[in-house]
Every structure is written in C-alpha cells, then in structure tokens.
Amino acid sequence: MNILDSLRPEPGLRVLVTAGASGIGAVVARAFSEAGAHVHVCDIDRAALDRLSTEIPGITSSMADAAVESEVDLVFDDVRGTLGGLDVLVNNAGIAGPTAAIESIDAVMWERTVAVNLNSQFLFARRAIPLLKASKAHPCVIAMSSVAGRLGYAYRTPYASTKWAVVGLMKSLAIELGPHGVRVNAILPGTVEGDRMNAVMAARAAASGLSADVVREQYIQKMSLRRMVRAEDVAAMALFLCAPAARNVTGQAVSVDANVEYL
C-alpha cells in the first residue's frame, strides 16, 4: 500500500456513530459511507433518522437515547444484526447543557449533561469493546470531546467538565486496549458552523447581555485562524484516524479548532 492509499480508511469497515442523524454525527456517518464503510447510526430524533435514511439508503439506524443503558443494549442488538460485528465506534453523542453561572445551574440539567456527554461514552464503549477486540480490521474508538475539553469555559461548567472527562476516559482506554490492538483517540472540535453553535452563541448572548453578532465576533477573535471550522473538517479527521496511516496513533486528543487560544 502506498502512502496516498494509506490515508484512506480501508473499504468495508463496520462503523457505529452515536447521535449520527444530524450535525457532526451525520456528516461523519456520510463520510464513512462514501469511503465504502457499512454504517449504522443511532439517534434520539426519529425525524432526523428518517431524513438520513432517505438521503443515504445504505445507512442503517436505531432510535435510542444514548444515556439510557437499556436502549444502548438494543442498539447493539441491531448492530449485530445489520453489521455482524464492529470495527469502529464513533462516540459522538453530546448536548450543550445549560449556559449559566454555577450558582444558577439546575441540578437536573447538570445530571442530564453528564448522562449524555459522559455516561453514554461509557455505555457504548463497554458494549463495543468485545466486538472491537474480535475485529481484524485495525479497530478504533473515536471519542468526540471538544475544545472545552482542554480549556476552561466559564458559564458552561457542565459541558466543559464532561468534555475533560471524555479525554481522561479516552487516554485510559488507549492504555487498556492497546495490547488488544484497539486504538482509541479523541477529536476536540472547536467552534463548528451550524445550528447547534448558533444556539450556543444565542444562549451566551442572553446570559451576558450582549448581541448575538458581538458574541459571534468574540468567538472568532479567539481563534488563531480567525474562522470557524466545518463539520466536514471533523469528519476528515475521523476518517484519517481510522486509516492505515494512523496505525500508530492512539491515546491522542486531536484538536480540529483553528487553534482556539482561550474561551
């Protein structure tokens, strides 16, 4: 295999993407499908799953709340039925959580953010690892963290706390699973263009008393490249991390963020 070929994932990979029906997850799922992978996604949003299935008929899906153990178990029943095994887990499920000063954060919202952003990573990894250990296709786990997993993030403490924890989970699993040939890495997206980021900026604007345009410019000025990233940039990194060229890349937290300098 020449170097250029090694930069692409090998065709035929069996891939599971959590929260894969919209946003970054859908772009990642589409990228793997276009690269010749067999892709299964799960998502809590039935309408989004239906749209994705219409757009890409080859992708199979399950409706599930990634933070509920019994529903995760059912996803893996579907994965065994549709894929017959697993080579790649993209642990992508996550929510923004509340934007507020710590003394104003509701305990229920804190717990929900932890459940979706962190507990789901555990629930899916626990079920996926036996399948990945049995894989002969250079198995990988990609944990979706955030630039908030390497920087402090005022007024977003539940989100930042979980994203730091995802990096710790990834690094621990990389050590645990390395002897079994399973690589584990995290991607840390920065400010990604799209509806979700627009909602985050609107919430921050409301919390700070600034206009949405001012908040958007503040975000951009914190990036060395002075631009937001696209979901496609994140998907490209996911593909690379599963390609033969990355066979010795594990235990790494890889930022795709135009170098956010501070939050």
Confidence of residue 200 (pLDDT cuts 50, 70, 90): confident
What's the rounded Cα separation, in Å, for the pair 89 and 192?
21
Give the pairing of strands 88-91 and 60-63: unpaired
159 near 113, Cβ under 8 Å?
A: yes
Average the pLDDT over 182-194 and give the result.
95
pLDDT at residue 195 in the model? 82
List the domain boundaries for the chain: 11-192+230-256
Q: Does domain 11-192+230-256 have CATH number 3.40.50.720?
A: yes
Residue 194 has pLDDT above 90, yes or no: no
pLDDT at residue 208 in the model? 84
Other C-beta atoms within 10 Å of 213: how many?
10
**The dihedral sign for the CA sequence 88, 95, 158, 190:** positive
pLDDT, the chain, mean: 96
Residue 107 has pLDDT above 90, yes or no: yes
Contacts of 129 (CB under 8 A, 6+ apart): 177, 182
Catalytic residues: 145, 159, 163
**Run of H or E residues at 254:** strand 253-256
Average the pLDDT over 204-210 and give the result.
86
pLDDT at residue 1 in the model? 78
pLDDT at residue 63 in the model? 98
Contacts of 130 (CB under 8 A, 6+ apart): none
Q: pLDDT tens digits for 109-163?
A: 999 999 999 999 999 999 999 999 999 999 999 999 999 999 999 999 999 999 9
